[in-house]
């Protein structure tokens, strides 16, 4: 880890619109390439811990597969519940062909 960044995945291993679960230093993080941009959110839904990487992506939003809470990919904002809190968003970048994340 350097300056808080954690290498999590080869950039070419991430397909468009297919969220992936990665381990960022012991924290489960979902990364996705959507509309040409990379996004990362903590993977366990703030409602009851559902696996966001198994959710559906549409219009810069991810829907939790368990109870349909919806979060904005860009900043983790709660669009609608049952969740009552936003999702932790992570900074994400590509460096030397690798995807790196860090907590905001």
- Does 1 score more than 60 pLDDT? no
Tell me the whole-structure pTM to 2 decimals: 0.93
DSSP secondary structure of 16-84: BT--EEEEETTEEEEEEEETTEEEEEESB-TTT--BGGGSEEETTEEE-TTT--EEETTT--EEESS--
Structural domains in the chain? 15-94 (2.102.10.10)
pLDDT tens digits, one per residue of 27-50: 999 999 999 999 999 999 999 999
Q: Check residue 2 and give its pLDDT.
A: 58
Q: b vs e for 71-88, b when ≥16 Cβ sit within 10 Å of the residue's Cβ?
A: bbbeebebeeeebeeebb
pLDDT tens digits, one per residue of 50-103: 999 999 999 999 999 999 999 999 999 999 999 999 999 999 999 999 999 999
């Amino acid at each position: 880890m350097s300056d808080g960044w954690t290498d999590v995945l080869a950039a070419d291993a991430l397909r468009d619109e297919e969220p992936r679960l990665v381990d960022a230093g012991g924290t489960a993080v979902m990364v996705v390439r959507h509309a040409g941009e990379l996004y990362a959110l903590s993977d366990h839904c703030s409602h009851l811990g559902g696996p966001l990487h198994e959710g559906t992506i549409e219009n810069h939003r991810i829907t939790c597969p368990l109870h349909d809470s919806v979060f904005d990919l860009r900043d983790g904002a709660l669009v609608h519940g049952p969740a009552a809190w936003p999702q932790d968003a992570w900074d994400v970048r590509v460096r030397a062909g690798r995807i790196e994340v860090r907590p905001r």
